[in-house]
Amino acid sequence: MAVMDRKLGLWQASAINMTDMVGIGPFITLPMVIGMMNGPYFLYAWIAGAFLSIVDGMVWSELGAAFPRAGGSYNFLKEAYGKKGAGRMMSFLFVWQTMIQAPLVIASAAIGFSKYFSFIVPLTPLTEKLVSGGVIILIIILLYRKIEAIGKISIFLWSGVIITMFWIIGGGILHGNFLMPIKNINSGLNVDYAFVTAIGFASVKSVYSYLGYYNICHLGSEIKNPSKNIPRSIFISIIGIAILYLLMNISVVSVIPWQQAKDSEFVISEFMQVLLGHTAATIVTCLILWVAFASVFSATLGYSRIPYAAAEDGEFFKIFAKLHPTKNFPYISLLFLGGVAFIFSMLFKLSETISAILAMRIMIQFIGQAVGLLILRSKKNGSDFPFKMPLFPLPVIVAIAMWLFILISTGTKLMFSGVIVIFLGEIVYFIKAKIQKEWPFAIPENQ
């Protein structure tokens, strides 16, 4: 029987996380965040996103180091709530929402790619769809290979991310008034209800740009020395990307006033055009497209392991448990998620996907597994957790509170949609459990 190999080292793991994080997100959400905050203090929304990522990253690090298996949250939820109890339902619900949410993530990056591509070649609504769909097809082709080859591709794609970010940051340092945004960060700031509301709405967008720091947990069965490399790669990713995001935002508004930047569709391209002309703007746009492509690549890689893990565990359709006979990767799962993402890229707009992604994931994945960690820590010995967060349980409590705040900030409509998805998943689970005599319909072993 084919098994997955531990071939990914620390830097490959970090590159996979960071390419997932720095997709098209920061380039398209930068003007959104400024517009929602409507002031030079918009940087606080990016700081809030970084802080949430760090405290939540502690949760992922403990769970990822303790249970380094393919599927990430699927295994965490099952372990936390009981393999023979409610954990079966929680892990099923996670896979259920992943089959909708993961293609949304992939599609959003592909749609963002086509949006920025239109700076170079004007596109009609139809050709935008063709470009986004083509990106997804190319990603599937690239991922259809062994994991060690994918690790090398990830490092190559990450090099483009670094070049892009450093060029943008360097442009502001050399040609802009780089210290001005920092000096003016509190200009006109009043910490009142309006500010708290604004930072909530803005943080929905900034947090979207940080998502992916945990991607390596989904590849737990393919990481070398996972008890150390999973936590290290998570914190390397979060700290590195937070610094790059803050410097990039400062760089952009040091050249383009925030009042102008908040209304820009191609803010990075226009930033470079102001500095070095149209040719440079075209080149940086191509680099942004590279970054967006890398993000779709990384996200699709991680998500393809989730249905596989559930199917291998007997909790999902058996066909998803198949590994490629020679390349040892879950090709059925990859093809299915890629196919659904392709359809979503044809149907949805970018603005419709970003908030929906967060609203759908927060309740089961982020809050669910944070509570699950509290349960696990109360049941298991400290030796069962190779990585232990400082000041436990304070970071977990802070993470739960912040995720609830972000959930409320997505709006009533999207919160309700998330509840509906979970409710439908529960109905399907209980029907399945009744038929298969699983929790809560399992027959006691002594009968």
Instruction: Express each pLDDT in 72-112 by its tens digit.
Output: 999 999 999 998 899 999 999 999 988 888 898 888 888 88
What are the residues whose beta carbons fall under 8 Å from the beta carbon of 249, sequence distance 6 or more? 30, 42, 43, 46, 181
The pLDDT assigned to 133 comes to 94
Give the pLDDT mean for 156-165.
Answer: 86
Task: Give me 187's structure tokens.
Answer: 């200009």
Give the pLDDT mean for 11-33.
Answer: 88
Boundaries of every domain in the chain: 10-436
Q: Yes or no: is domain 10-436 CATH 3.10.20.30?
A: no
The pLDDT assigned to 278 comes to 92
Q: Vertex 104, ends 92 and 419: CA angle to 5°?
A: 50
| 387-410 per-residue burial string, b: 16 or more CB within 10 A, e: under 16 | bebeebeebbebbbebbebbbebb
pLDDT band at residue 402, thresholds of 50, 70 and 90?
very high
The SS3 assignment for 223 reads strand
Does position 30 have pLDDT exceeding 50, yes or no? yes
What are the residues whose beta carbons fall under 8 Å from the beta carbon of 160, sequence distance 6 or more? 287, 290, 291, 294
The pLDDT assigned to 445 comes to 58
The pLDDT assigned to 55 comes to 98
User: Across all residues in the chain, what is the average pLDDT?
Assistant: 90
What's the distance, Cα to Cα, between the start and end of the chain in Å?
35
- CA dihedral 349→352→353→354, nearest 10 degrees, is 120
Task: Give me 81's structure tokens.
Answer: 């709530």
Distance CA 151, CA 133 (A): 24
Condensed to tens digits (0 to 9), the pLDDT of residues 252-304 reads 999 999 999 999 989 999 999 999 999 999 999 998 898 888 878 888 888 89
The pLDDT assigned to 447 comes to 45
Residue 124 burial (CB < 10 Å; 0-12/13-18/19+)? exposed
Does position 409 have pLDDT exceeding 60, yes or no? yes
Q: Vertex 221, ends 215 and 225: CA angle to 5°?
A: 90
Peptide bond into 440 cis (omega under 30): yes
